Structure 1
Amino acid sequence: MTAASFRDFNLPESFLAALDQRGFTTPTPVQAQVLSQPNLDTDMVVQARTGSGKTLAFLLPLLNELEGGGKKPRLLVLSPTRELAMQNAGESEFLGHIRGIATASIVGGMSMEHQIFQLRRGASVVVGTPGRVLDHIRRGTLDLSDIETLVLDEGDNMLDMGFRDELEAILEAAVNRKKTWLFSATMPDSVFSLCKRYLKEPLRLELNHEEEQHEDIVHRVYLVPSRQRMEALVNILLWEKPALCLIFCHTKTDTGEVAGRLQEEGLMALALNGDMTQRERSNALESFRTGRIPILVATNVAARGLDVQGVSHVIQLGLPDSMETFVHRSGRTGRAGHEGSNLLLLTPQESGRFKFMIRSSEMKVEWLKVPDIQEISVIQRERREESLLELVPAPEIRAWAESLLERSDDAADLAAKLLSVVVKDIPTGYSLRDSLQRELDQRRERAAARREGRVGSRFDGERRGIGAERARFRGQGLSIRIAKGRNDQEWSVGRILGALCAALGVSRDEIGNIKMRDSHTEVELSPAAIASLDDGGRRRLIDRGLISGGSGEPQPRLGGPRRERRFDRSGERLGKRNFERASERRPRYGRDA
């Protein structure tokens, strides 16, 4: 549902004036859906994508119900991250001050004393993160006895981040609440379970249709050489020339490495991750929001709740964990009716897995090869020419130019000399075309060999006369123990396989037998995968929670290859994989946990 104006709804004139002041005249679909409901005194579940305007969707009607001057909080808004909580608090303060409604923000990383002062002074609205809110409840500095409405913003992210215990404790503490509203971009089982337990016959609004998610976003996949992903990123940034760009990495370490490398290339970039202090995070966000730094390199967790207008490009380095992750990241651009670009940098090996990931989606994706140095040189020249032709020189500069022309017999020679000074420092990127083409050709050759039956299993290669390459896996396969098993209901053989490939930066051919037990999983790795494990892969597996600090030590397989079985001792069908061909080592800035 859409509406022509906020004036179509029963909102006070003071709110309408404030919205006009901010340039908000037409509600987004989620705002229109919520505001148009005849009965808002009920539990509600709203599924709407990131950047859809959820904050005003719940603040406008809920603040309209409150009266100013109250000492105890009546509205509690929970958010997964400090950044989102502070943004929500800012919107609440902006609308609330008109009616004398005070807002207190209580988030981690900020002064506890100042937060206690805010609460003692009195606030009708409290906005915070689950951990810090629960801390105040246990200290006795936050009283929820008068809470009428509890809002869970980005409920899926709060559960993904491990806040279920905190959320349940807060929900049970707010015993007198009249309604609970939950807003979420996705509806996994964990969200359904929470709703079933704590919400009573909630009104359900779903505005998360795929066509709405992608209509303002152009999706492009750039194929890049596996060993030159960072150089490819530089080329793509030069080619695309984003006004404001958010780059997603998979680990906190990589955000610093990528931002540092971009700075070395002369590109203005900053990292955003959970290891930074609150001051560092706030400074980085402010620099990005104002455009002083046009490139922000972040992890999924650090970017949750990030609401920055005008992000022209999202760049995802490597294969995303899931379709949900891909969509959620892309939602940072193309907001509020503006067009945006979502770019995915994949190696040829990763491209097949991404095609499988989007096989049931109607999303339109443009596939491109990474631009090469020659193409970048041409477009950089065209851009510089346009800027020169559009430039209006000051009178004294024009007089200087006329003086130079009088002293020169060759105007073209003079212009060439001036251009030599202007263009000498224009970056043109790296030569990557040949490297990428070699990888593409190798993949085509391997695919043709498989179709013609020239590739068999790793154990019968010698019998077919082609086993010289795969024979080296005999007796050299090592196994590791993964800290996920059948008792972990969200994990399966397929998910473990994908996580290992992503963390180690190898193809599925490098992962052997996967044997799920109740409490753990045993996985066989090829020598190439073991090399990746030693080359930073262990850290990424630990970051993912797949192994503990010491549980991932490779365990050598004793003797020759084991007899292949279709089922393990417990009757579970094995997720068996074949080593068909060794892949190249993981690139430095490849797919991480």
Structure 2
Amino acid sequence: MPFSSLPRPVAEAITERGYTEPTPVQAQVIAAEAHDRDLLVSAQTGSGKTVAYGLAIAETLLQGAEALPRPGEPLALIIAPTRELALQVQRELQWLYAKLGARVASCVGGMNVRVEQRALSYGCHIVVGTPGRLKDHLERGTLQPGSLRAVILDEADEMLDLGFREDLEEILDLTPPERRTLLFSATMPKPIAMMAKRYQRDALRIETTSAREAHADIDYRAMAVAPADIQNAVVNVLRFHEAKGAMVFCATRENVRRLSATLTERGFSAVTLSGELSQNERNHALQALRDRRARVCIATDVAARGIDLPGLELVIHAELPINPETLQHRSGRTGRAGKKGTCVLITPYQRRRHAERLLRAANVNATWEPVPTPDAIYARDQERLMESLSVGEVAEEDLEVARKLLETMSAEQIAAAFVRTQRQSLPAPEELIDASPMARGDREQATREQGPRPGFEDTVWFRMNIGRGQNADPRWLLPLLCRRGHITKRDVGAIRIFQTETRFEIPRTIANKFVDALKRTSGEDDGVIIEPAGDAPTPPVGQLRDRRGPPPRTQLRPNYERGPGEPGGAPRGPSRGPGGPGGPKRYGAKPFNKGGRKPGA
């Protein structure tokens, strides 16, 4: 018997649950060498870690007895990062220890604290909770840690990422020193190793899978799209796979709300999970996914941490995860317990290299492919329809209806009506812009072959003595050219920004007028020199050399950015312009951090 080394009531419970063989992590935690030792375990998500530490502490709780003692002060404490994971752990341990009559209490944020206090006062054997609420009960004196025989940290790396380090240390410092300490985590970063060294004694290190094997049950695919087409890409991926359950990850609560509205409008049955929802709303959302009333869950990283949803076949990263660990935890919602799953990363084409680095860091081999087109989706719908058609046993009343239909319509008409009904129940796929770099290059080549835009068939090239080294940008170059040359932005053609200079074209018909205006405004003290560059083609970047060198950065500020008292400077007092409070101090300032977005809870 695979679980013969376990106490008889626990072995019977797990066998009745349908377990025939232990998973690798379960087999190692119940091995003889792990008996009564501290454990430091890293295993992939969905590998049966919850049941594993339930099995690991069974002998510790019984201590050779046939049954558990009367409920009193808790014997085991399990700490989880999120409410959903803690409640999920409570449900798992309840059936695992049902034959022992164990009483399992939960202490999580968002629930009625008085109900939890009452449950603790009645006595229990195991307490499962989140760090903040457990610390609160310890400070109130309603949770007594003096009898604890085992403490388990589930998803320890996530708790440290969420800032629970101090809470965890305070909780562990209050527990008996002779307790067993078990740390379970999907990844094992340096902070976890440091915590293990401080709070564990002669811990047995268990690592059931290598980093590459951890993704064996997940088929990774990556798709590059135009930034404006990310939501449409999510729609088409969901339609192509038609998974029984799918989870879409966003970085912020606002993006969760926006994507949820888009999918609901398209006809998807979707729910959301984010930190702004109450516990009751989150429970309803999870229950809707479990009983198939909803098929898509849009969530933030923290809200979906540790959630185990049966039948979750597809995970979509609508926004790239911030690091390889987050990628692993997100993707681990599918491909659990030996089942196959699909993970799709949707990335803006300009961030494809970042996505490739992320995948390499996570030891993931992803297949890059285009987003499914409407034609591909309709073809897949037809395949699913043909696969789902099976006659089997037919009731007599159904045959009677079929005969009446055949009396009024042909078999082809009936089949066509059936197909139309099936398609009407499915959301329509979206047409996407082909915005890949190669496609853009093809369009630019086609544009060059078609010739210049009207009015710019004959132009004169001019140069400016500022370039990328001085943070040149068309957003402020165009106004400068219009002011100095007395032209409008429609009179400026192509702009080429190089390292130390910028070149632009002006129609030859107004070139003389432009030059005269430059002479009249040459006295402006902005440090920018504009002069004809000749009619020669613009040289490659590597051949451009500025003989004068870049002007001092202080001379590149426009008038409205100069301080009070400077020639041409702004009047004294607060300014509402770019040089004022909250605005960029010079051209190189970046008021928006496009790459450093912090995910919401």
- TM-score, length-scaled by structure 2: 0.72
- Displacement of 1:381 in angstroms is 3.2
Query: Measured at CA, do residues 561 and 17 of structure 1 come closer, stay the same or move farther in structure 2, by a change above 3 Å?
Result: closer
- Displacement of 1:401 in angstroms is 3.7
Specify the alignment match of 1:49 in structure 2.
44
- Displacement of 1:378 in angstroms is 2.3
Query: Measured at CA, do residues 165 and 561 of structure 1 come closer, stay the same or move farther in structure 2, by a change above 3 Å?
Result: closer
- Displacement of 1:40 in angstroms is 2.7
Secondary structure of 1:183's counterpart equals strand
Alignment of 1:393-408 (within 5 A): 394-407=395-408
AA paired with 1:57?
A: A
AA paired with 1:63?
A: A
Structure 1: tracts of 5 or more residues without a match = 448-455, 476-551, 563-576, 578-584
Whole-Å separation in 2 of the counterparts to 1:209 and 1:143: 39
Secondary structure of 1:221's counterpart equals strand
Query: Measured at CA, do residues 369 and 107 of structure 1 come closer, stay the same or move farther in structure 2, by a change above 3 Å?
Result: same
Secondary structure of 1:318's counterpart equals coil
Specify the alignment match of 2:481 in structure 1.
none
Specify the alignment match of 1:223 in structure 2.
224
Specify the alignment match of 2:303 in structure 1.
302
Whole-Å separation in 1 of the counterparts to 2:584 and 2:424: 56
- Displacement of 1:295 in angstroms is 0.9
Counting matched residue pairs gives 476
In the alignment, structure 1 residue 141 sits paired with structure 2 residue 142: yes
Which of 23, 30, 34 is 1:28 aligned to? 23
Specify the alignment match of 2:65 in structure 1.
none
Whole-Å separation in 2 of the counterparts to 1:302 and 1:406: 56
Specify the alignment match of 1:485 in structure 2.
none
In the alignment, structure 1 residue 6 sits paired with structure 2 residue 2: yes
Specify the alignment match of 1:335 in structure 2.
336
Whole-Å separation in 2 of the counterparts to 1:421 and 1:241: 17
AA paired with 1:23?
A: G
Secondary structure of 1:332's counterpart equals coil
Query: Measured at CA, do residues 457 and 58 of structure 1 come closer, stay the same or move farther in structure 2, by a change above 3 Å?
Result: farther
AA paired with 2:240?
A: W
Whole-Å separation in 1 of the counterparts to 2:104 and 2:414: 64
Query: Measured at CA, do residues 244 and 591 of structure 1 come closer, stay the same or move farther in structure 2, by a change above 3 Å?
Result: farther
Whole-Å separation in 2 of the counterparts to 1:73 and 1:273: 31
Specify the alignment match of 1:318 in structure 2.
319
AA paired with 2:26?
A: Q
Whole-Å separation in 1 of the counterparts to 2:421 and 2:80: 52
- Displacement of 1:248 in angstroms is 0.8
Whole-Å separation in 2 of the counterparts to 1:29 and 1:300: 27
Report if the CA contact (8 A) 2:152-2:183 is conserved.
Answer: yes
Query: Measured at CA, do residues 75 and 241 of structure 1 come closer, stay the same or move farther in structure 2, by a change above 3 Å?
Result: same
In the alignment, structure 1 residue 431 sits paired with structure 2 residue 431: yes
Query: Measured at CA, do residues 404 and 107 of structure 1 come closer, stay the same or move farther in structure 2, by a change above 3 Å?
Result: closer
Specify the alignment match of 2:460 in structure 1.
none
AA paired with 2:73?
A: K
Query: Measured at CA, do residues 375 and 38 of structure 1 come closer, stay the same or move farther in structure 2, by a change above 3 Å?
Result: closer
Secondary structure of 2:228's counterpart equals coil
- Displacement of 1:130 in angstroms is 0.9
Specify the alignment match of 1:458 in structure 2.
468
Report if the CA contact (8 A) 1:69-1:101 is conserved.
Answer: no
Whole-Å separation in 1 of the counterparts to 2:255 and 2:155: 26
What whole-Å deviation, never above 9, does each CA across 1:273-320 have from its counterpart, x for those lacking one?
110001001111111122221111111100112122221111111222
Whole-Å separation in 2 of the counterparts to 1:125 and 1:207: 26
Secondary structure of 2:280's counterpart equals helix
- Percent sequence identity over matched residues? 35
In the alignment, structure 1 residue 18 sits paired with structure 2 residue 13: yes
Report if the CA contact (8 A) 2:225-2:435 is conserved.
Answer: no
Report if the CA contact (8 A) 1:474-1:561 is conserved.
Answer: no
- Displacement of 1:391 in angstroms is 7.6
- TM-score, length-scaled by structure 1: 0.73
Specify the alignment match of 1:442 in structure 2.
440
Whole-Å separation in 2 of the counterparts to 1:46 and 1:327: 16
What whole-Å deviation, never above 9, does each CA across 1:534-561 have from its counterpart, x for those lacking one?
xxxxxxxxxxxxxxxxxx9754234x77
Query: Measured at CA, do residues 371 and 35 of structure 1 come closer, stay the same or move farther in structure 2, by a change above 3 Å?
Result: same
Specify the alignment match of 1:557 in structure 2.
585
Query: Measured at CA, do residues 417 and 60 of structure 1 come closer, stay the same or move farther in structure 2, by a change above 3 Å?
Result: closer
Query: Measured at CA, do residues 165 and 385 of structure 1 come closer, stay the same or move farther in structure 2, by a change above 3 Å?
Result: same
Report if the CA contact (8 A) 2:40-2:204 is conserved.
Answer: yes
Report if the CA contact (8 A) 1:145-1:176 is conserved.
Answer: no
Report if the CA contact (8 A) 1:225-1:439 is conserved.
Answer: no
Secondary structure of 1:144's counterpart equals coil
Structure 2: tracts of 5 or more residues without a match = 62-67, 446-465, 473-492, 503-579
- Displacement of 1:244 in angstroms is 0.8
Report if the CA contact (8 A) 1:77-1:128 is conserved.
Answer: yes
Specify the alignment match of 1:202 in structure 2.
203
Secondary structure of 1:359's counterpart equals helix
Alignment of 1:113-132 (within 5 A): 113-132=114-133
Segment of structure 1 superposing worse, 386-395 or 47-56: 386-395
Report if the CA contact (8 A) 1:319-1:354 is conserved.
Answer: yes
Query: Measured at CA, do residues 274 and 401 of structure 1 come closer, stay the same or move farther in structure 2, by a change above 3 Å?
Result: same
Specify the alignment match of 1:68 in structure 2.
69
In the alignment, structure 1 residue 92 sits paired with structure 2 residue 93: yes
AA paired with 2:431?
A: S
- Displacement of 1:423 in angstroms is 4.0
In the alignment, structure 1 residue 108 sits paired with structure 2 residue 109: yes
- Displacement of 1:374 in angstroms is 1.9
What whole-Å deviation, never above 9, does each CA across 1:330-379 have from its counterpart, x for those lacking one?
11111111111111111211222111223366533111101112222222
Whole-Å separation in 2 of the counterparts to 1:89 and 1:305: 13
Report if the CA contact (8 A) 1:30-1:48 is conserved.
Answer: yes
Report if the CA contact (8 A) 2:218-2:341 is conserved.
Answer: yes
What whole-Å deviation, never above 9, does each CA across 1:492-532 have from its counterpart, x for those lacking one?
xxxxxxxxxxxxxxxxxxxxxxxxxxxxxxxxxxxxxxxxx
Whole-Å separation in 2 of the counterparts to 1:411 and 1:277: 52
Report if the CA contact (8 A) 1:46-1:204 is conserved.
Answer: yes
